Amino acid sequence: MTNPVCEMLGIEYPILAFSHCRDVVAAVSKGGGLGVLGAVAFGPEQLEVELEWIENELQGVPYGVDVLIPAKYVGIEKGGLGREEVDELIPEEHRRFVEDLLERYHVPELPADEQPSRGIASWSHSGAAPLVDIALDHDIALIANALGPAPPGLIEAAHARDVAVAALVGKVQHAERQEAAGVDLIVAQGYEAGGHTGEIGTMVLVPDVVDAVSTPVLAAGGIATGRQMAAAMALGAVGVWTGSVWLTTEEAETHPVVKQKFLDAGSSDTVRSRAQTGKPARQLRSAWTDEWSNPANPEPLPMPLHGVLIAEAQQRINRSAATSEGAAKLANYFVGQVVGRMSKVRPARQVLMDIVEEYVDTVAGMGAELE
């Protein structure tokens, strides 16, 4: 295919695949799309390891990196809070609730030799800065920010290295701000998408954003098949940004219990909840999301407090989900409404080619109807 995003990024198909798994990133890029590694789950040292591995696999084939720098969070006036400052802001009521929740669901303690997680530190400008620096020191084709305008200097630094910048948006106003900031691609992400997402559906959001900006637009949210890609392109997008569909691939590092839940789930089995990060994010509905939505229980804390609050609890749940019935009930992960179409495990490359082939068949069929 020849279109603006393919030419910009040096790829064959305008399909971008977001994943926290380096194997998925490499497989999609090798197949002709653009794998985009989610950096937020890694510390600086581990991100360096992941990117070196990807580049050894790809040998010059393009790939990208996604960072998560929120537009709003507790401590933004300082660029981010230290771990001790965050700990001091977490109410004792919330700590007791999490402890009680794990006890009620009989989630085992961590082994004595396993260090408890303290949460993701990069959900701030200061926390993400080292990840951005590492990403830009590598041979990436794209850097994307998922939760607000790129921080000062990121766009200039990326462009100085011939790296394209993308930004995810959920409203026309957000897209206009991103265009004014100088991004190269705008990802219009609809309500049905997995992870942090807004309240406007993809079918409405994409054409509104396309009409409002001159910057090329990618569509995101509810896209896992060639027919859905064709619909997105018909709305004016120049490509698609996909995420959920890669979670059930052979390469994905999705927890086995959660992967099976995804395979069994229908499109109505997700919920937009603050239960994982403190910001509204679509995820699989589970006992965990139900407990946090119960009016009798404390409400989730704002980012980044909530992530620090639940870090050890999530570690315990994930560690024992395969052997503990209670932990299995609590286990979940971010996923979009398209989970209902994710009914079998396939190699990532096959997923990519299935999308491409169905897209071609769909467009050809529509053309034949016009003839």
Q: How many CA atoms lie within 13 A of 213 on its CB side?
A: 29
Q: Is the dihedral of CA 255, 261, 266, 268 positive or negative?
A: negative
Cα angle value 285/290/292 (rounded, 5°) = 120
CA distance 209 to 358: 26
CA distance 330 to 235: 38
Token duo for residue 153: 């200097």
Q: Largest alpha-carbon pair distance within the chain?
A: 70
Q: What is the pTM of this model?
A: 0.95
pLDDT, one tens digit for every residue, the chain (371 residues): 779 999 999 999 999 999 999 999 999 999 999 999 999 889 999 999 999 999 999 999 999 999 988 777 787 777 777 878 888 999 999 999 999 999 999 999 999 999 988 776 556 677 788 999 999 999 999 999 987 787 778 999 999 999 999 999 999 999 999 999 999 999 999 999 999 999 999 999 999 999 999 999 999 999 999 999 999 999 999 999 999 999 999 999 999 999 999 999 999 999 999 999 999 999 999 999 999 999 999 999 998 899 999 999 999 999 999 999 999 999 999 999 999 999 999 999 999 999 999 999 999 999 998 87
Per-residue pLDDT at 359: 98
Relative orientation angle of helices 92-104 and 305-320, to the nearest 10 degrees: 10
| 72: exposed, middle or buried (Cβ count in 10 Å: 0-12, 13-18, 19+) | exposed
CB within 8 A of 312, min separation 6: which ones?
110, 116, 117, 118
CB within 8 A of 53, min separation 6: which ones?
22
Per-residue pLDDT at 120: 64
Beta strands at 15-19 and 270-273: parallel, antiparallel or unpaired: unpaired
